[in-house]
Structure 1
Amino acid sequence: MSSGNNNHWTGGNRIELLENGEQFFPRVFDAIRKARREVIAETFILFEDKVGLQLHAAMREAAQRGVKIDLMIDGFGSPDLSREFIEGLTLAGVKVRVFDPGQRFMGQRLNVFRRMHRKIVVVDGERAFVGGINYSADHLLDFGPKAKQDYAVELAGPIVGEIHQFVLRAIALGGKGASWFRRRLKLAPPVNQVRAGEADAMFVTRDNRRHTNDIERQYRAAIRAARRRIVIANAYFFPGYLLIKELRRAARRGVDVRLVLQGEPDMPIVKTAASMLYHHLLHAGVRIYEYCDRPLHGKVALMDDRWSTVGSSNLDPLSLSLNLEANVIVRDAAFNQVLWERMDRLMQHSCKQVEAADLASEWSGWRLVRSFFVFHILRWYPALLGRLPRHAPRLTPAEATDLASRRGSGRSDPAGGATRTEAA
Structure 2
Amino acid sequence: METGRVINKRYLLQRLIQQGSASSVYQGVDQVLQRAVAIKVVPAEQIPVYRAAIRATAQFSHPNIIGLYDLIVEPDVLYVVQEYVEGDTFETLLQSHLTPYYVADLGMQICQALLYATTSPRKVCHGDLTPASILRDRSGQIRVNNFALSTDMYYFSNWSIVGGNNSIISDPEIPLGQMSDGRKDDDVRAVGLLMYQLLAGRSSDATVVEPPADGRLRFQRNVPAELCDVIARTAIRQHPQHITTADLLQAELKVILDQLEPPPPPVTIAPAPAYKIDEFSASSKHATSGALRDRNLSEATYNDTRARLAAMQQERDAGTTAADNISMKLAAARPAAYAAPELPARRINLPLLLLIGLVLFILFFVVGYFIAHSLLP
In the superposition, the TM-score normalised over structure 1's length comes to 0.18
Q: For the pair shown, which has the larger CA radius of gyration, 1 or 2?
A: 2
| Greater per-residue helix proportion | 2
In the superposition, the TM-score normalised over structure 2's length comes to 0.20
| Greater per-residue strand proportion | 1
